[in-house]
A and B are shown apart, each in its own frame.
Chain A
Amino acid sequence: MKELKSFFEEVYRSNYPKVVRLCMGYLNGDGDMAKDVAQEVFVKVWQHLESFREESSISTWIYRISVNTCLLHIRDNKKKKVGSVERMKDIEDETDDVSKTGQLDQLYQCINSLSSTNRSVILLELEGLPQKEIADIMGISHEAIRTRIHRIKNELTKCIHHVDV
């Protein structure tokens, strides 16, 4: 039990930031809600850690739980629009400049306009996961993921340009 707890502690430390980032992307940059969902993700990680079979890496396993937990949250996602001021508080980095936060706002806004599945796919791509791993997490073939990512990338860059103008 003690060993499991220290393993969990390690898993938590190394994965918390990316889980929160993923959740923020999913929830239109809502920092408070992202932290709540991230907590829910780690509750599930702790509940099922003993059953983790090492068939995939722990990080892939956690990403699967995160994507599915975020999917469950479409149950009460009210598509809240989050302003940059609120997010600046969330990220707790007072030195960050406003234009950078504004750009992130645009990115969140454009991600939020995608379908739920496409949102998950592009967030994992933004995190820099290999496409094979994204395919494994999403349960879609590698070939289909490659085509889909190409399409979403175009959609996203067009959207950012549109918001810019």
Chain B
Amino acid sequence: MSTFEDLQSQWKNQPEPQLPRKGSEMIIGKVTELKRKQRIANLVLSVTILILIGFFMYISAYKESRVMWALFLMIATLIVRVIIEAFSIRWINKLKMAMNAHLFRERLIDYYKGRAWVHYVITPLLILAYIYGFMVLLPFFKASLSHGFYTYIVISSIVSLIVLGTFIAKQIRKEMRILGKLKNM
């Protein structure tokens, strides 16, 4: 029967992993690249919001108050969702990696508890607000669009909602499984 000392010597005698060529330079390059991508993502998000506002003004939605509020509601729910996701990514990236493992685990549990709150409270509210905004717009679509296009919009919206709902449900299940694992460590 192997003793622990045998296992330890087996462990220490395993072949050394090869050092990648120019590994440290690659890491430094990767960090610079990550920062650049972060800047681009922020830019894309800002431009998207500006385009949405521009579109809002272009179709003169503000002249029809019901249309204005419905559109505003839909755009606002999307923006809030994007901001929450960006905030979550920032939260997990800002975790101090050099803290001890016990504290780190606690912080990670806090993070996933925060995510649970987003998933179970905020997301359903946002989805309901989005659906409400869409329903308010439907009579206006019906009055101004062809029957075919109107049907297309209704059907594609239902399909998108089902796909999005399934995706969110999967994500929630995955994150809650991780939370369970972390709590039982």
Contacts and interface: CB of A to CB of B under 8 A. Distances in A.
B30 A107 contact: no
A156 interface: yes
B28 A46 contact: yes
B101 A93 contact: no
A71 B106 CA distance: 12
A98 interface: no
Contact of B101 (A75, A104, A137): A137
A39 B10 contact: no
A21 interface: yes
Contact of A48 (B7, B8, B19, B98): B98
Interface string A11-40: 011001100110010000001001100010
B105 interface: yes
Contact of A42 (B12, B24, B101): B24
A31 B14 CA distance: 13
Contact of B31 (A9, A47, A91, A92): A47
A124 to B, nearest CB: 10
Given A48-B97, A74-B181, A138-B100, 10 more contacts: A8-B24, A21-B11, A21-B14, A43-B34, A47-B31, A68-B98, A68-B104, A69-B97, A115-B184, A157-B1
Interface of B: 1-4, 7-8, 10-12, 14-20, 23-24, 26-28, 30-31, 34, 95, 97-105, 108, 178, 181-182, 184-185
Interface of A: 5, 8-9, 12-13, 16-17, 20-21, 24, 31, 34-35, 39, 42-44, 46-48, 52, 61, 64-65, 67-69, 71-72, 74-75, 90-93, 96, 100, 103-104, 107, 115-117, 120, 125-128, 136-140, 153, 156-157, 160-161, 164
